[in-house]
Structure 1
Amino acid sequence: MRLFFALPCPPAVAARVIAWRKEQGVDGRLIPAANLHMTLAFLGEVPVERLETLTALGDELQLEPCTVVLDRVERWHQGLISVIASETPVPLASFIKELNQGLMGLGFSIDRRPFVPHMTAARKSRQRPLDFPSLEWPVERFALFVSENIEGGVQYRALKEWLAR
């Protein structure tokens, strides 16, 4: 199973991002609204036998509600259009640290690069959009997702969600 922990995109945020992409004429492969998310930890291929330990980790973690302000846009390698937060809220930074420690304790490799809150809006885009209006993302829950191949692409499905508290 191809797994990752992420913040599911609130419907109001997804609607604003989709409208923004249309206004800006963002090209490339647009990420479907149902797949919009903010990755917290990418795990890659994980044997199904490890799923129980990952959900148990999620049960132990505490995410304090906060707000991420997405306030800029960049075009990254291979045409990834990412909307990015200039700052990481303290509760989210603390959560990422706790999540990574838990994953390392379970023997998972973690990304050593600093966490940058961002959401991929499109892939294989030929140009960077001119601007991105500031957008508040209320952090109210996190989830363990599976990436599944479907006809015409992939879908991300939450295997289990936890409320921020």
Structure 2
Amino acid sequence: METKHHYFFAVKLPKEMKDFLNGWIQSNQRDYEFGRWVHPEDYHITLAFLGYAEEKKLQDAIETMSSVLSDLSSFSLTLDKLGIFGPMKSPRIFWAGVVESEPLAEVQKKVFTQCLKLGFELDKKPFRPHITLARKYKGERFFNSEKLKSIRTEDHQTFEFEVSEVILYETHLDQSPKYKEFARFPLNAKNT
């Protein structure tokens, strides 16, 4: 039986950002009792989740996305605070957020709008940029919201990183890491 993969557009995180987050998790994981931790190679910020995609629509998305993003330049994001999705007592998702960013909102709007134009059915919830770190809270006590602090470097500085491309990922649930790059869409280099 043929496996049907799911697809999504996302901001690719640079290696130094993935390494930083993974290091932070290695140091702090015991304080956050979640059942499934995300593989560091799978860290990303989702822009539009397509789900299963017909090949024609997928090809249309690949062929048009470069021109949709052609006027956008790379930009910086700053890692912010931790958050959760789901009930406070027993959250489903544990994530790291980024400081609000106009360039990120613009990239997401352009990707999302183009996917709608191509006929994809997308989740209409407001965009909440985040990097999923773990799933399924397993603590014996209710989750402690005081643990949702800001993520900082060892010397208490914020961590800033560069966003230079959007990726169309393909999901392979039976593998780890489970997200494979299917198509790349570089943003223009920053004007200095």
Confirm or deny a common fold (TM above 0.5).
yes
Q: Which structure 1 residue ranges, 5 or more long, are not aligned?
A: none
Higher strand proportion (structure 1 or 2)? 1
Q: How does 1:82-161 map to 2 (within 5 A)?
A: 82-87=95-100, 89-125=101-137, 126=139, 127=143, 129-131=147-149, 132-133=151-152, 134-150=158-174, 155-161=178-184
Q: Aligned equivalents of 1:37 and 1:102: distance in 2? A: 20
Q: Which structure 2 residue ranges, 5 or more long, are not aligned?
A: 153-157
Could you say which structure has the larger radius of gyration?
Answer: 2
The change in CA–CA distance for 1:135 and 1:79 in structure 2 (over 3 A counts) is farther
Q: Aligned equivalents of 2:111 and 2:126: distance in 1? A: 14
Q: Aligned equivalents of 1:108 and 1:23: distance in 2? A: 40
1:61 aligned to which of 68, 73, 83: 68
Q: Could you tell me which amino acid in structure 2 is paired with residue 104 of structure 1?
A: L
TM-score normalised over the length of structure 2: 0.77
Counterpart for residue 155 of structure 2: none
2:42 aligned to which of 26, 35, 41: 35
Q: Aligned equivalents of 1:154 and 1:34: distance in 2? A: 6
Matched, 1:163 2:186: yes
Q: Aligned equivalents of 1:112 and 1:51: distance in 2? A: 20
- The answer as to whether partners of 1:85 and 1:116 remain within 8 angstroms in 2 is no
Matched, 1:15 2:19: yes
- The answer as to whether partners of 2:41 and 2:177 remain within 8 angstroms in 1 is no
- Choose 19-28 or 124-133, whichever is displaced more: 124-133
Q: Could you tell me which amino acid in structure 2 is paired with residue 42 of structure 1?
A: F
SS of the residue corresponding to residue 150 of structure 1 reads: coil
For the aligned residue pairs, the C-alpha RMSD in angstroms reads 1.9
Counterpart for residue 80 of structure 1: 93
Q: Could you tell me which amino acid in structure 1 is paired with residue 172 of structure 2?
A: E
The change in CA–CA distance for 1:111 and 1:17 in structure 2 (over 3 A counts) is same
Q: Could you tell me which amino acid in structure 2 is paired with residue 14 of structure 1?
A: K
Q: Aligned equivalents of 1:98 and 1:32: distance in 2? A: 28
> When the two structures are aligned, how many residues end up with a matched partner?
163
